[in-house]
Amino acid sequence: MTNPPVIEAQHLTIEYLLGKQWVTVLRDVSLQINALEIHGLVGESGSGKSTLALALMRYMAKNARIRSGDILLNGQSLLGKNSDDMRHIWGRDISLVPQDPLAALNPSYTVGDQIAEISVLHDNISSKQAWRKAVEMLEKVRIADPEAVAKKYPHQLSGGMQQRVTIAMALSTRPRLLVLDEPTTALDVTTEATILDLFRELIRDNQAAALYVSHNLGVIAQMCDRVTVLYGGEVMASADVGDIFANPIHPYTIGLLASIPKAIEGVETRLPTMEGISPSLTQRPTGCVFAPRCPVALELCHQQKPALETIADGRMVKCHRWREIVSGELTVDNQTQEAIIEGLPPVENQYVLKTEHLNKQYGTQSFLDRVTMRKARFVQAVDDVAVQVRARATLGLVGESGSGKTSLARCIVGLETADSGEIELIDVPISRQLAQRPQTVKRDLQMVFQNPNDTLNPYQTIGRALERTIRLLNTEALNREQVQARIAELLTMVRLPADYANRYPSELSGGEKQRVAIARAFAANPALVVADEPTSALDVSVQAVVLNLLKDLRAKEGASYIFISHDLRAVSYLADWLIVMYLGQIVEEGTTSHVYSIPSHPYTEALVSSIPIPDPSVKQGAIRLQGEIPSATNLPTGCRFHTRCPRKIGAICEQQEPPWRDAGDGHHIRCHIPIDELIQLQSQSAATPEGTR
Amino acid sequence: MARFIIRRVALLALTMLITSAIVFALTQLVPGDVARLILGRDASPEALNTLREEFGLNDPAPQQYVNWLGGFLTGDWGRSFTGANQPVRPLVTERLGNSMRLALMTLLISVPLSVFLGVIAALYENTWIDSIISLFTLAVVGLPEFVTGLVLINGLALGVKALGLPATSGVPENTIGDWIHELILPSLTATFVLLGYVTRLTRAGVIDELKKPYVRTATLKGLPQRTVIFKHVLRNALLPTITVIAISFGWLIGGLVVIENVYNYPGLGALLVDAVKQKNLFLLQAIVMVTIFFFAVANLLADIVYALLNPRIRLE
């Protein structure tokens, strides 16, 4: 890159005041982003990546201070600026695209007002002109009917639209620097793909520089020109995106890349994982921050901090042993456990769970609604769904938000009562209502939730939480020693030290809490564990640990899973049978490898095409779903997917319900296109990846 | 929005119908015979019966209720037993007017003051400024009205004679100076009671909102701090406060018994106490109904304002 630098951080050290003590959040961080460059910032939670992103904008928490170093915008230091000066820079020269667009927009003003506000402030134009400009901006971010959308409030828009609004806002003054803080983390993979396309284009058009913060390595690989890897508040490595992904040098980068589940992997393989957790703010190691988790750390690494060395043009790494790694003398291997998980394979023709014609509708009409003649709105969340889970197998449930996958799971475990249909647990019909299920059924059906922070009572020790479940669900009465022994056994099972029983949830990391939640689900030897996005809230390296654990437990305890996730890669790593849902209906099912390859339902095809691939040399699939998932209160006629389907064949899709086509081996696709034609169409576009736009 | 208002008005009518039944039932349960109460212990059975007939007290209870409610709706609120047997309505409406004046004056002082204090306390959260505001507002809430009232009388009116404030309040004439002159002390006393709640609520609301990401968005647009606070934060932070203000309005109309007594102010609260003392049945019913009505209307207005300010409710 020969473009001039737009923003530079030079040896930046930032501290937080915690209690009465200043602790270092970022240590000696240097970073440079040139015009037209998208610079990726990767790191786990607690690595300081958000602090750095905001610090580059000179926006810091009240209890933070810059200890040393400098921040230069277009060669000018920002440190000497007072808050009045910064107000002229914020929104005009630097803009932020935030993580959670709904929370980042004021709920009480229309989105048009909120975009126009910036132009009134910085461009000195009348509010009428600013409104017109806001509408233009909405058009630029590809919002259909921008005039109408401008008059809407944030809550009336879908997540993808909200994010487009914040992008319109950020770009309306043509800023020199754009800071993107996990801007697609809250979105579905299909929406994410369209937003990423938009970013690429708009950043280029605006000649801007961008900092892209993300924990999703796939997104970083697809979006960025350069990447900086942050760990424990320090830069571990910085290089061109190709170098980082193709020949990582730093052991942390190597470990991070290895822990991404590959597209389709055998059921019995184990992901390489980095042991331990990232250092907390107050307990940073004196030597290399990564040494405690590094598989190749030497005595030197624990005692002395390595320097950030420039090893080639534009390539920096902070490791004592980089020379050995580059020369090939040293290989970094994170495979600390057996790569293959020994255990019993799934059992054919023996089912833990079967459902038939399961239906769930939401929406009610109260007395007052009837008096005032308000129309009831019903949402068919689960529509005539049949699923089967084999013993010791894993059923993966995939679909965008609003597809009904969580509702289905909740109906199965009884958190919601299905309106109609049959549920069979180990060949015995069970009630749809939780209250009418015997204790043994409740014991056999357990659930692990997405956010481990919300599922553990903050005022109860881990031991107490497990004890309650053990006592509640075990049929025989246990004495105190037996319960304590069982708690210790469960904690060991999820690879946590037994003395964690005395800790409170706040003393555990996110991954550890999720392991406790899993231990609790296994407290009474369940037959089926329903895991609803159990790794979505976790960092990549922690996700790998949890995924491995789930695999281990399946092999050792003989449990079966229903695994729900929007992360198609995580699902394929764990599941041997996949169900793809769209608007409450199953559109495809089959073995994982069948579903992920040709032929597949056009919806599945689009989902797979949207996955950002963590390899910059492989371009993401080109199929994009236009528009949003339609409202379930007003279902499309015919095939529910016809409004967005890239392979729509004509009026038949709008008028008739598609058939449930058999593609062999239990692989079924709900589509009007015959299987042979699907194979033909999809092989063609696989050969020419750009073809189907 | 129209549908929303219609729903709320329908609910209000329903509330009033139910409360009227409760009010009627309660007054039925008051011990003692109304006729004897009016005519005295020595009245002849004939006289008592004539009076019962006149007031319809011999009718069955449901009939009495329907008659009473019908009369109430058409403006015949019955007659006061005591004194010159005068009609209840003008008596109540006059006192209601007085109470409304006082309530309005109190809200004009207390709402801006407590919102201002709440915002300041929130912006300086956990500093000495915050502590002083919290301490002051809690102290004045904790003190009973007759104490703050007396302190005010002594401190402001008697101590600072230059102000020439009356220790007892008359009903103000129509000039603004007159309003302030007559109502400043009682409304300040009532303000002190409200100050603690509204200030704390505003403070908590602003602190909550300041943590939300949209405030960061607004700041990073480059907006000046006052715009961030007054345009973006306050509009969301004040939503819960509106409900509390509406509830206080109901209290201000019918519940200022102590303050009206301290200042000898002819409001509805004082009249209510008199009516109870005299077992003045129709007067009592009328006052309670009027108080509840204004309470309900204040809440209706609060709901509408809330919806107007909050698109998530308005456009559900």
* Predicted confidence (pLDDT) per residue in A631-667, tens digit: 777 788 889 999 888 888 888 889 888 999 888 888 9
Q: Which domains does chain B have, with CATH numbers?
A: 2-88 (no CATH), 90-267+296-314 (1.10.3720.10)
Interface of A with B (CB under 8 A): 57, 59, 83, 86-92, 94-96, 98-100, 103-109, 117-118, 121-122, 153, 155-156, 166, 169, 368, 371-372, 374
User: Mean pLDDT for chain A?
Assistant: 86
* Least confidently predicted of A154-163, A457-466, A581-590, B167-176: B167-176
The string of pLDDT tens digits covering residues A391-449 is 888 999 998 888 888 889 999 999 988 998 999 998 889 989 888 988 888 888 999 98
**Any idea what DSSP says for residue A269?**
B
Residue A578 to residue A593: CA distance in whole angstroms: 9
Cβ neighbours for B14, distance < 8 A, ≥ 6 positions apart:
none
Extract the tokens encoding B255.
């519940």
pLDDT at A220: 92
B312 with A374: Cβ contact below 8 A: no
The answer to whether residue A298 scores a pLDDT higher than 50 is yes
Nearest CA in chain A to B237: A108
The string of pLDDT tens digits covering residues A471-527 is 888 767 788 888 898 899 888 888 788 888 888 888 887 788 888 998 898 888 889
Indicate the CATH number for domain A351-581: 3.40.50.300
pLDDT at A364: 61
B221 with A88: Cβ contact below 8 A: no
pLDDT at B163: 56
Cβ neighbours of A335 (radius 10 Å): 12
The answer to whether residue B70 scores a pLDDT higher than 80 is yes
Q: In this predicted model, which residue has the larger pLDDT, A104 or B76?
A: A104
Q: ipTM > 0.95?
A: no
pLDDT at A1: 47
Q: Which chain A residues are within 8 Å of B224, Cβ to Cβ? A: 87
Distance of residue B224 Cα from the nearest chain A Cα, in angstroms: 7
Angle between helices B145-152 and B176-210 (to 10 degrees): 130
pLDDT at A188: 82
Q: What integer is the mean pLDDT of A599-609?
A: 89
B213 with A372: Cβ contact below 8 A: no
Per cent of chain A over pLDDT 90 is: 28
State the architecture of A5-93+175-245 in CATH terms: 3-Layer(aba) Sandwich (3.40)
Fold equal for A5-93+175-245 and A351-581: yes
Q: Which chain B residues are within 8 Å of A121, Cβ to Cβ? A: 221-223
The answer to whether residue A266 scores a pLDDT higher than 60 is no
Per cent of chain A over pLDDT 70 is: 94
Partner residue facing A104 (CB), from B11, B217, B222: B217
The answer to whether residue B34 scores a pLDDT higher than 60 is yes
Q: A106, A177, A211: best mutation site toward chain B, by most B Cβ within 10 Å?
A: A106
Partner residue facing B222 (CB), from A98, A122, A156: A122
pLDDT at A509: 78
pLDDT at A690: 42
pTM: 0.83
Distance of residue A114 Cα from the nearest chain B Cα, in angstroms: 9
Half-sphere exposure of A690 (CA within 13 A, CB side): 0
Omega within 30 of 0 (cis) for the link into B62: no
Q: B220, B223, B225, B310: best mutation site toward chain A, by most A Cβ within 10 Å?
A: B220
**Any idea what DSSP says for residue B10?**
H
Nearest CA in chain A to B5: A372
Q: Which chain B residues are within 8 Å of A106, Cβ to Cβ? A: 214, 217-218, 232, 235-236
Which three-class secondary structure state does DSSP give residue A464? helix
**Summary count for chain A: helices (H), strands (E):** 26, 24
Q: B5, B217, B229, B231: best mutation site toward chain A, by most A Cβ within 10 Å?
A: B217
Strand A177-181 to A94-97 pairing: parallel
Distance of residue A442 Cα from the nearest chain B Cα, in angstroms: 37
The string of pLDDT tens digits covering residues A166-198 is 999 998 888 989 999 988 887 888 888 888 888
B214 with A105: Cβ contact below 8 A: yes
Interface of B with A in 192-221 (CB under 8 A): 212-214, 216-221
Cβ neighbours for A543, distance < 8 A, ≥ 6 positions apart:
A259, A535, A570
Nearest CA in chain B to A60: B216
Work out the pLDDT band at A597, boundaries 50, 70, 90: confident
Residue B234 to residue B112: CA distance in whole angstroms: 12
B218 with A90: Cβ contact below 8 A: no
Structural domain boundaries of chain A? 5-93+175-245, 351-581, 597-687
pLDDT at A348: 74
